[in-house]
Amino acid sequence: MLPSVLPTETDHVPVLAEEVVANLDPCPGETVVDGTFGAGGHATLLAQRLRREGKLIAVDRDPTVAPFFERFRRETGVKARLHHGEFSAVLGQLASNGVRADVILLDLGVSSMQIDRPDRGFSYAVDAPLDMRMDPAATYSARELVNDSSERDLADIFKRYGEERYARQIARAIARRRQERPFERTGELVEVVKAAIPAPARFGEGHPAKRVFQALRIEVNDELGALERALPAALEMLRPGGRLGVISFHSLEDRIVKQFLRRQEQGCTCPPDFPVCVCGSEPALRATPRRAIRPSAAEVARNPRAQSARLRVGTKV
Ligand SMILES: C[S@@+](CC[C@H](N)C(=O)[O-])C[C@H]1O[C@@H](n2cnc3c(N)ncnc32)[C@H](O)[C@@H]1O
């Protein structure tokens, strides 16, 4: 078990904070689910709207958020509980237990606390064990992924989740290097990535290992699979009129959310050439607003991490 991190002044800064509160619009007495509790930044803002009359259900697969949850409970005074687990599993369980919610928020990806803690192995900036598990009890880490995957699978992962131009060259260099000895540390991986890409690209946009690290993190934590499974569970949990908000940081995540909203808006799943509807499915959600909400220039200037954030909201019909 990892030692706890104590809440500080420099915790994770919640992105699109005003937009989240305005569009999810929690009201006194309602039940809010924060599926990605982190440092509790969004949860605190949402809970303030409940005015101690509602309930907040927090979920996070990282057990080190516990001290942040205790602080949240102390400071907001709202009725709250924390579930440790992967949000798709927890939402599915809560839904089948008949728990219902008015607001559900998923703020995807890693938190600043996870990135800033070298022992978690998320950062290419510090040498640390190659790990990247959001849940330190999970069995599969970046170490296994890098050492055991085929060269081809690694290249696919770098290309798909990292949009890495030199995916094949990097995968080949990794496969060659691990024949000598397995990768154990982030620093070793950074060195191999740097050496595998052409010199001019090493000094291009951002750190040369940034995209590879992002891709490994997404794969290790099955981030897209978790999102795909969570959306129907969230829909089932929502009461009519309930609001689902998802903040994504990657085009693949945003596409999953956008397509889910579109399918749920359409309702009918009959093939387009059917003259009349035979499936009988009704629209279940409305995208409110229709388009993704992006951060303002002022927010990006304050918090560059917000740059790629997109918030989509659906209201249950
Ligand atoms: C971007 S941070 C959330 C920050 C939070 N909104 C705040 O304002 O402090 C994402 C958090 O969600 C958690 N997380 C990511 N994917 C998850 C999943 N599939 N199930 C449960 N927790 C997840 C991470 O462990 C991390 O703590």
> 4-61: per-residue pLDDT in tens?
555 664 567 899 999 999 999 999 999 999 999 999 999 999 999 999 899 999 999 9
Find the mean pLDDT for residues 67-91. 97
At residue 300, φ and ψ (nearest 5 deg) are -65, -35
pLDDT band at 86 (very low <50, low <70, confident <90, very high): very high
Q: What is the pLDDT of residues 109-152, one digit of tens each?
A: 999 899 989 899 999 999 999 999 999 999 999 999 999 999 99
Q: Is 132 in the pocket of ligand 1 (CB under 6 A)?
A: no
Which value, to the nearest 10 degrees, does the dihedral of the CA atoms of residues 298, 300, 301, 304 take?
Answer: 160
- Decide if 149 contacts 157 (C-beta within 8 A): yes
How many angstroms separate the CA atoms of 21 and 279, rounded?
Answer: 36
DSSP state of 286: E
- Taking the C-alpha atoms of residue 188 and residue 192, their distance in angstroms, rounded to an integer, is 6
Kindly provide the residue ranges of all beta strands, DSSP E only, lying in the chain, ordered along the sequence: 31-34, 55-60, 79-84, 101-107, 238-248, 285-287, 310-316
Contact yes or no for 212/193 (Cβ under 8 A)? yes
Q: What is the pLDDT of residues 162-208, one digit of tens each?
A: 999 999 999 999 999 999 999 999 999 999 999 999 887 777 778 89
* pLDDT confidence of residue 300: 96
Please give the pLDDT value at position 203.
Answer: 75
Beta carbon of 218 within 6 Å of any ligand 1 atom:
no
* Percent residues over pLDDT 70 in the chain: 96
- Tell whether the model's pLDDT for residue 3 goes beyond 80: no
> 130, 113, 100: which is closest to 36 by C-alpha?
113
Query: What tokens appear for 177 in the block?
Result: 């290097």
Distance CA(54)–CA(37), nearest Å, equals 17
CA of 144 to the centre of ligand 1 (A): 23
Q: Tell me, what's the pLDDT at 257? A: 98
Ligand 1 atom nearest to CA at 13 = 8
Spatial CA neighbour of 261 closest among 277, 244, 248: 244
Decide: 253 in ligand 1 pocket, CB within 6 A: no
Cα–Cα distance for residue pair 137/61, rounded to 1 Å: 9
Q: Measured between alpha carbons, how far is 209 from 196 in angstroms, rounded to an integer?
A: 10
